Each structure stands twice: as structure tokens, then as C-alpha cells.
Amino acid sequence: MTEDLRRIEAKRRGIVQWEPGQTLIKASELSYDREIARGNYGTVYKGRCRGFPVAIKLLHNQHLIEPKIEELKREVEIMSSLRHPCILLFMGVCTEKDNLAVVMEYVDGRDLESIVHDKDVVMTTAQQLLIAKGIAQGMNWLHCLKPEPIIHRDLKPPNVLVTKDFEVRVCDFGLSCVKEKFDPKAPPKDKAVGTPVWMSPEILCGLPASEKSDVYAFGLVLWELFTRKERPFAHVTSFSEFCDDVIDRNVRPTLPDEVPKHIRRLIKACWHGDMDKRPSFEQILEKIDELVVTNSIKDKVARNLWKILKETETASHYPFYAEWDNFIEVLCGALGLPLDTIPPESTIYQCAKAILAEEERDLTSSDAAKKFLVSCESFGRFVDVFGPLRSDILSNFDELCRTGCFHGSIDAKEAERRLTGQRSGCYLVRLSSKDNCIAITKRHKHGFNHQRAFRNEKGFNIQIGTKCHLFPSLLAFLNSPQARSKKDGLYLKCPCFTDSKFAQIHKKGAEEREVSYVGLDYIREGLRNAKVSSSSNIYGSSTNNNNGNSDNHHHHHHHDGGGHAPTISSHSASNSNLVSHSPIYGSEPQVVVEEEKIRKKKKRLSWRKSKNYE
């Protein structure tokens, strides 16, 4: 088969084959903007190439001999074939005189080193794990390449780029090479390639680089990511002392207690002195997925539920996210609830979706096709605050939302804005933006007060004055004298509905029920124990309670031609207001309508109509 035919066949099969010179870029096609980074081998500029924003690495050494230029071309061709979301894309190379440069994908972000040492950048453990997983995914891709893996050999925080959305690009493959074959009879190499701090003991001893030497470097990257301390081994000033510590004394950076223990174990496994005992990046990825779930969800039952989603989730966002439709189906199954018992139009369904799910950003989908995602972190938080995970967790949460006081996850500043202009004693309940707890914000004549409520196995602990009170649930607290009393309690007088999407869900639900409840069919089929917030007669007019006459003239019933049910006018329907109102939308007299009373009133109406007909 000729070369042209091979290329055609490769194209048909979707195989990328790079021709000599395919990655060559002319100097005239490059325009330089600002400097964005400076390294040992070159300065990186933001620029443009062929109308596209790129990163241009202008090499410090502009006088490479011809064999070195050819080597550079070959390396760029290899790197250009590496396509993975977590690997920085190489686009080409310019080899013209005084313009030796490598052209790469431009990433709008920062390197990991500058992020972890910036005190103004706040990162959660979940976000740190997201970065760690991105690095591991990129490295695993390199190590799984065929016929031979590619070893990075200089993995460190400055060589990891992170976007504002925590997307990761592993970069700076200038020292990468095809894996060296280890020859036990060969003499140790007299020159180690890479940055000494992140070098594994075997590299420092002169052995060839391997996948496991990259794993060692990854362990040190994890240490810097989770401790956010200065560079590892920063106290060491002598290279020989550093080698003695790492090789002979097995010294590693100190792991503080604030790093979660499961993450500490992973770090120790990665920088193990014996390279054969270090995990592969494939194993590291599995471990990170477990760590995400363990870190975010404390409840064991909820953790097991989330792990079930791994079998149903086909998208790449597991374990950090799950699609709402998959999640609610698995959740209902775990709670023993048939899915049709909480239809999408129900307030239970809508309130659960409002607190747990967020819309996936997808400009290519219509509103009807948009997907909602549940984060592992938000589910763990929900169970922490409103748990434990039992069959009544959703209905209990819905009851809290029914009061109108719950506002979801908002911070103190937003809570104060919503309460501005409200009278003293007006309050709202929210999820604390800092901890897995409830915060109660109240308006008083001098400003605002913020009170926290922490849940344990027995209920909610709430500090009132000098005493700490335990309540079995938030609703129990809100209905208690300790919450209502002005003298000895918190004086929570009335809930704030302003801008609460949960209050709006129940208000809309109440309005829809009011419309659907009007009609004799509903009364006939389902109103045995319904509550009615009206003292007027359910038929819109008063009738004489003439049971005797009704019984005496019952035989006249056949004269009205079948006894048509009386029509309820819109006026009488609005007066009767046949809706089970929430306490937040008006008073609720406890009037119980019984089926027997309805039957008797229908008989009286039929009797009067038959008399009039005669």
C-alpha cells in the first residue's frame, strides 16, 4: 500500500497521522501580545496564530544546531498528537532563525503554584480533589499511550494550568521522552532530568524515568495542593543534603492533621520509597473518586446510594455530579418510595430539586432539553442538615418549605437584604454559607441577628440566651415557645417570604390546587377529610336544616329528571375557597367536611328542586 493510500485509510478510520512539516508555522503567522510566564527554557507570550488566540513559547536558546532543531520538530509532532481535555494542546513549531518557538493552546487561567500560594483564593476540599483528578486523568492518558508510554519527568505545580472553572491542563512537556528501557547492567546516569524537589529517589540515584517517578512527583503536588504551604523541602539548602534525606533517610514533607486522613494515605502511597509499591494513575483515579464521595457525604447510607449512581451515570462528571433524573430515581428506590408518589408537579419534588440540583450550562440545548445536575457536595450537605436519610426526609423538608421561611443556601449579606424593610421579629431560615448547619437571620429594631443551629443524632442544638436547647426537628423549634416568645425566646414573629423560591413553589402549588379543587366531582371523590378555609356553605348559599321534611319528601326525588348536581358559580367557588392552605398564605380554620354531611345536603337540594318543579 502506498503512503497516500495509507493516509486515506487512516483518515477513514479516524487515525491522525502527522506528515513531516505539518506542524511547521511561519514566523509571519505569529503575533505577540503580553508575557504570561517565564521558565528555564523559554518565555511564554499570549499571541495569535492564523486568527486564533495561542500561547507562544519563545525559546531562550535561539541558536540550536540542525540536529537539535530536527529533534524539536519530532517532539512537537509527537506532542501535537496528544489529544486529551487535561493535556495542553501543542499546535505547532516555528524553526525560523531568531524565531524558534513552540505554539500551544492558550488557557485563560493560572498555574497551580500561584493559586495554592494565593491566600485570597479559597478552595474547598471538593475543588482540590477536582484539580487532583484532572491532573491524574492527564497523566494516565500519557502513561497509557501505545506502543510506549510518555513520561512527563517534570510534573510540578508550575506545570499545571487551572481555569476559573477548575479545568486542568498538564503542560510543559519539554522534558518528556519515550519511556526508557531499564537495563540493570547499565551504569547509573550521571545527569538526572527534571526539577530536583519533585524527583523520586530512584531518579536521584540515576535510574531511568518511569511512570512511577511521575507518581512520586504527583504525591508532592498533592501535598502542596492540600497543605497550601511553601514549596516542599524549602528548608534544605544543600543538594547533597537533600539527596541524603530523600534516598537514605526516606524524609518527606510533614503532613498536617488538617489534611483529611484518607487524602494523607493517598499522598503517602504516591511518594513511597519503593517504586513498586506506588499506585498507578489508573488506581489513583479510582481512589480519588472514592475520596470525593467520602469527603462530601458523611452519612453511610447516603454514601452507598451515591456509589450506586456510578452504574447509571454515563457522563464524565461522576463522582462530582449526577444527572437529576438518575438521582431522583435512585433516591426514591433507596427510600422505598414509588417514583409516581412524588410527581414532578408536586411541591415535594420541586422543593427537593430546588435545593439539590442546578442547571447544567449548555448553550446547545433548548430549555425543554436542559439537564439538571446534583453535586455530591450538595447531597452530602442536605443529608447532614436534614437527615438522616430515611423515607420521610423529603416530606419533612417539604413541610419546612411550606412555612415560607426557608430560603436555601444564601449568605448573611443576602439574608439581610431580603429582610430590609421588614418589621421587627421577621425572620428567615437558610443554609449557612460556611458550615453544614442552619442559620436563622432575624430582623430587629437595631438591625439583624444571625443564629446558628447544628444538627446531631438527636436533633438540633440551638442556643437561646445562656442555655442550649435540643429540638427533634426545625419545625419543632419554630413552633416552640423558645422560638416565639419575646421575653424568654428568640421572638421569631413572622416568616419572610421575599425572594424565597421555596415559598413561591408552595404559593404556586396552593393556587393550582385551589383551581383544581373547585367542582363537585372533587367533593364527591376525595374530600372526606379535607380542610376548608371558609365558614360559608360549600354550595355558596345557606339552606334550612330541615331534615324532617327532607326525609318525608324523599319520594319526590324522581320528579327532577335525574337530579342534576347543582352548579357552583365562580363567585361561590371563590367564597368557598376549597383549598388546603398553608399557614403562610392565610388563616386555616379547622373545618372538616364529612361525606355524610355532603350526602344529606345533596338530598335537601334535590327535595327543594323537586318541590319547585311541581
List, by residue number, the catalytic residues.
154
**405 touches 440 (CB < 8 A):** no
CA 252 – CA 69 distance, rounded (Å): 39
Task: For the beta carbon of residue 609, count every other beta carbon within 10 angstroms.
Answer: 17
CA atoms within 13 A on the CB side of 549: 12
The answer for 47, left when phi > 0, alpha when psi is -120 to 50, beta otherwise, is: beta
Q: Are 604 and 543 in contact (CB under 8 A)?
A: yes
User: CB atoms < 10 A from the CB of 358, how many?
Assistant: 14
Number of other CB atoms surrounding residue 47 within 10 Å: 20
Please state, as a whole number, how many other Cβ atoms lie within 10 Å of the Cβ of residue 387: 17
H/E run at residue 52: strand 52-59
161 Rama class: left (phi>0) / alpha (psi -120 to 50) / beta: beta
The alpha carbon of 174 is separated from its chain's Cα centroid by a whole number of angstroms, namely: 35
Residue with cell string 524565531: 99
Residues whose CB is less than 8 angstroms from the CB of residue 475 and which lie 6 or more positions away in sequence, other chains included = 396, 399, 400, 403
What's the rounded Cα separation, in Å, for the pair 454 and 463? Answer: 10
Q: If you ran DSSP here, which 8-state letter would residue 279 be given?
A: P
Cα 552 to its chain centre, rounded Å, is: 70
